Structure 1
Amino acid sequence: MSGADHSLRHLAVELTLAVAEHIADATLAAGRHAGLLPLTVVVLDGGGHVVVQKREDGSGILRAEIAHGKAYGALGMGIGSRVIRDRLRDRPAFQSAIAAASEGRFIPVPGGVLICRADGAVVGAVGVSGDASDKDEYAAIAGVRAAGLLPHPETPVENWRDAGL
């Protein structure tokens, strides 16, 4: 086999393990700082693959699947999961169709946040579960911002701390 190239080729990576870990750790730190219930965070790359998953002590056993579904739905639809919820509120048939198309990996409630570069390109998504959905979203947005990236949605729901959530 002379002339054959047998060297390993590495895939280009937009969202590195180090950055995904930073997002996950900063998300959990934001939750602790805000006094949230124990959280689970899942960070997906642009292809929808799990890069990091962390579950705090005391976070329920379904939280990883829920966090993954929030991130996966956001990535699949190209908008944060709060926006998905708001747009599909009166369209249950379409929500069911998306859930079926995604093999059940679609959770249309706040807590799924896109991870974007400065030019707006999506490089992944983070999903959080463990507290009320608006609080989950708050922690996810804080985690993305702490890594120097842009979240979508850009800001959490207004006054969630005052809303009794």
Structure 2
Amino acid sequence: MITLKQAQTMIDTALQTGVDAGWKPLSAVVLDAGGHVQAFARDDGAAPGRFEIARAKAYGAVMLGMGGKAQMARAEAQGYFMAAVNGIYGGQTCPVPGGVLIRGEDGAVIGAMGVTGDTSDNDAEAALAGIAAVGLTGEA
């Protein structure tokens, strides 16, 4: 289980990673293992629609059990399948980097983090930094 304090630390660290690197303003969300929002923050200057993108990145990761990079590879190889999956989930997934699985000490999926605002690879890097800050393992 991810605590609220851990979720907030992950988000704070991810946003600070973007600031320190000089990236565009980021937004970040942490979902529990059931895909429910545990915490969200949008950095000053981030576009208002970023919640939906961050959530979709994280939701796809937790629901499919694969990070955004793996989802993107799957979409490139099997576009019809990923389009069908997105339809099944009501258009709530975004199969690109920035959606990162969060694994507990035993390796089980305990949630996901979605970050958006800069390049997808930078978004994933920020999420991984946030997850590592609380001693958990991220899978981009």
* Band of TM-score, shorter chain: over 0.9
Asked if residue 17 in structure 1 is aligned to residue 4 in structure 2, the reply is yes
Rounded Cα–Cα distance in structure 1 between residues aligned with 2:75 and 2:64: 12
The residue aligned with 1:26 is 13
Q: Which of the pair is proportionally richer in helix? A: 2
Alignment of 1:45-60 (within 5 A): 45-60=32-47
Alignment of 1:32-111 (within 5 A): 32-111=19-98
- AA matched with 2:34: G
Equivalent of residue 145 in structure 1, options 129, 132, 138: 132
- AA matched with 1:134: D
The gaps in structure 2 that reach 5 residues or longer are none
Equivalent of residue 105 in structure 2, options 118, 126, 133: 118
- Cα deviation per residue 1:21-69 (whole Å; 9 max; x = unaligned)? 1111111111111111000001001111101010011111221100000
Give the superposition deviation at 1:93. 1.2
Greater Rg by CA: 1
- AA matched with 2:107: G
Rounded Cα–Cα distance in structure 2 between residues aligned with 1:39 and 1:82: 19
- AA matched with 2:22: G
The gaps in structure 1 that reach 5 residues or longer are 1-13, 154-165
Rounded Cα–Cα distance in structure 1 between residues aligned with 2:22 and 2:105: 30
The residue aligned with 1:163 is none
Asked if residue 131 in structure 1 is aligned to residue 114 in structure 2, the reply is no
Greater RCO (CA < 8 Å, at least 6 residues apart): 2
Rounded Cα–Cα distance in structure 2 between residues aligned with 1:58 and 1:98: 32
TM normalised by structure 2 equals: 0.96
TM normalised by structure 1 equals: 0.82
Q: Aligned pairs, how many? A: 140
